[in-house]
Amino acid sequence: MKPTGPLPPYFTASSAGELIIGGSPVSELIAEAGGTPLFVYDNNIIGSQITRFRAAMPSGINLYYSVSANPCEDVLRFIGRYVEGFRVVSAGEIERLKRAELAGIPMTFAGPGKSEREIEAAILAGATISLESEGEAERAIKAAGRLGKKPKLAVRVDPPFVIGHDGSESVVAPNPFGFDAAEAPAIINGLIEADVDFRGIHIFTGSQWLDADALIKVHRQTIDLAGAIADAAGIRLPELNLGGGFGTPCLQGEWPLDIDRVATALCDSLRESSDMLATTTLSIELGRWIVAESGVYVTRIVDKKESAGRTFLITDGGGHHLIGATGPFGEPPRLNHPIAVANKFGAAGEEVVTVTGCLCTPFDVLGDDVCLPLAQPGDLIAIFCAGAYGLTASPQAWESRPLALEIMV
């Protein structure tokens, strides 16, 4: 038997032993949505995460939601009420915001390889473009000229440090993201001379941080670097985008990030920073941390079989909808996300089973040797921490299977 990840603390069972999500039994949500496989997102959990952020962090910090984490339009529409803006990485994500009736909200547009069409879409949407190269800067300025608009441009800086999730430091490896730090002052002055709307710098150093000490170190060194760049350029930065990277525990042995410690240390780092940052607006981009625990992936058992002494529960879902729960693609280590029998939620485990999806590959495993209540075809499997990097981050077209349904409650 193998362990599973920690179950998020928000979920309870009805008197009949059925999983409750957002106040409704899972069977009612399935009926409302039209079947399984189904992603259910609880807006109460999303709201509580945003409230936690606001309560912990210094006042005046801009919170941007990273659309890539979950671009479901109902989710975007809800989050748009409570954040300062959105982080996008493609013209498609800008279109998602438009369909969610959020076209006028502030955006930052990051990522290498922006096409001419995407640069033009970002300028027309009023987005701040985080520039990744001199070539991209030239293309953005030319596109703005064609469109008759003053572009909002920021400089993405590749930091000269790499900090591991345990706080260790290692040698910087070349990558396609941003400018080397030594180049940044000259690039900034060049943009100002070009009479663009210079919006500051963007420094992103990693994702899925769960160790508060490591993230505190990242923030401290990032703020020091931003101050040194501002000093060298001789300007006060309008904005410093710290990126994000707050992690969510979804595997055995992981614990929640201590956001209060992170916030306290961030205040200290800001107090000790360069005078050139005294009027700088700070922003943080978060995706996974806001939505991951709000999501539950529900899939129905269609078959049960024995093979070489092991019991398999085979479902109508799988890795084509939630690739992160399957390894992905069998890459070691194969650790289990939180999992339950949704119509026997909270019941004691009775048998050790392997839960698989319907794909024709041995890697499509949703729960490997997990102890669950006795389950049969027709019962429901719930995979938790499924609110981020789920459906749109998975190979939905694999085997031309049906798409999963989505519902927000």
Report pLDDT for 330: 52
Query: Are 247 and 389 part of one and the same domain?
Result: no
In a domain, 118, yes or no: yes
Residue 256 structure tokens? 């929640």
Tell me which residue has tokens 């547009």.
109
Report pLDDT for 163: 75
CA 289 distance to own-chain centroid? 7
In this prediction the pTM is 0.95
Query: Are 327 and 354 part of one and the same domain?
Result: yes
Report pLDDT for 149: 97
Residue 115 structure tokens? 């096409």
Of residues 401, 408, 396, the one with CA closest to residue 322: 396
Query: Are 120 and 37 part of one and the same domain?
Result: no
Per-position b or e across 305-319, b if 16+ CB within 10 A of its CB:
eeeeeebebbbbbbb
Of residues 43, 81, 80, 82, the one with CA closest to residue 409: 43
Query: Are 249 and 307 part of one and the same domain?
Result: no
Contacts of 329 (CB under 8 A, 6+ apart): 319, 323, 363
Of residues 65, 207, 202, 184, the one with CA closest to residue 134: 184
Report pLDDT for 167: 67
Report pLDDT for 166: 67
Query: Are 137 and 194 part of one and the same domain?
Result: yes
In a domain, 6, yes or no: no
In a domain, 103, yes or no: yes
Category of 55 on φ-ψ map: left (φ > 0), alpha (ψ -120 to 50) or beta:
alpha
3-state SS, residue 187: helix
Instruction: Show the DSSP H helices in 14-90 as ranges.
Output: 26-33, 43-56, 73-79
What is the chain's pLDDT, residue by residue, as a tens digit (409 residues)? 999 999 999 999 999 999 999 999 999 999 999 999 999 999 999 999 999 999 999 889 999 999 999 999 999 999 999 999 999 999 999 999 999 999 999 999 999 999 999 999 999 999 999 999 999 999 999 999 999 999 999 999 999 887 777 666 766 667 889 999 999 999 999 999 999 999 999 998 888 899 999 999 999 999 999 999 999 999 999 999 999 889 999 999 999 999 999 999 999 999 999 999 999 999 999 999 999 999 999 999 999 999 999 999 999 999 999 999 997 655 555 789 999 999 999 999 999 999 999 999 999 999 999 999 999 999 999 999 999 999 999 999 999 999 999 999 9
Rounded to whole angstroms, the Cα distance separating 207 from 73 reads 24
CA 171 distance to own-chain centroid? 26
* Contact between residue 300 and residue 387 where contact means Cβ atoms under 8 Å apart: no
- Residue 220, CA distances (Å) to 124, 183, 231 in order: 35, 21, 17
Q: Which domain covers residue 380, as residue numbers?
A: 12-41+293-408
Task: State how many domains the chain has.
Answer: 2
Residue 123 structure tokens? 């300028």
Burial of 174 (0-12, 13-18, 19+ CB in 10 A): exposed
Report pLDDT for 150: 97
Report pLDDT for 205: 84
- Residue 367, CA distances (Å) to 218, 338, 342 in order: 34, 9, 14
Query: Are 239 and 312 part of one and the same domain?
Result: no
Tell me the torsion sign for CA atoms 33, 39, 45, 51.
negative
3-state SS, residue 337: coil
Of residues 56, 54, 6, the one with CA closest to residue 261: 56
Task: Give me the CATH number covering residue 384.
Answer: 2.40.37.10
Query: Are 171 and 307 part of one and the same domain?
Result: no
Report pLDDT for 146: 97
Hey, which residues does 166 pair with through a beta bridge? none
Query: Are 278 and 381 part of one and the same domain?
Result: no
Residue 11 structure tokens? 């979920």
Q: In the listed set 291, 315, 336, which residue is the last one of a domain according to the structure?
A: 291
Report pLDDT for 357: 97
Rounded to whole angstroms, the Cα distance separating 10 from 384 reads 11
In a domain, 234, yes or no: yes
Q: In the listed set 272, 291, 310, which residue is the last one of a domain according to the structure?
A: 291
Report pLDDT for 117: 97
Report pLDDT for 375: 98
Angle at 91 between CA 85 and CA 94, to 5 degrees: 30
In a domain, 147, yes or no: yes
* Contact between residue 355 and residue 75 where contact means Cβ atoms under 8 Å apart: no
DSSP conformation letters of 93-105: HHHHHHHTT-TTS
Q: Which amino acid is at 205?
A: T
At residue 162, φ and ψ (nearest 5 deg) are -125, 120
* Contact between residue 242 and residue 222 where contact means Cβ atoms under 8 Å apart: yes
pLDDT, one tens digit per residue, over 97-121 is 999 999 999 999 999 999 999 999 9
Residue 305 structure tokens? 């079989």
Report pLDDT for 170: 66
Task: Give me the CATH number covering residue 245.
Answer: 3.20.20.10
In a domain, 215, yes or no: yes
In a domain, 1, yes or no: no
Query: Are 134 and 234 part of one and the same domain?
Result: yes
Query: Are 99 and 28 part of one and the same domain?
Result: no
Tell me the torsion sign for CA atoms 338, 341, 342, 345.
negative
In a domain, 4, yes or no: no
Q: In the listed set 238, 263, 291, which residue is the last one of a domain according to the structure?
A: 291
Query: Are 329 and 384 part of one and the same domain?
Result: yes
Count of Cβ atoms closer than 10 Å to residue 194 Cβ: 15
Query: Are 61 and 106 part of one and the same domain?
Result: yes
Rounded to whole angstroms, the Cα distance separating 184 from 155 reads 7
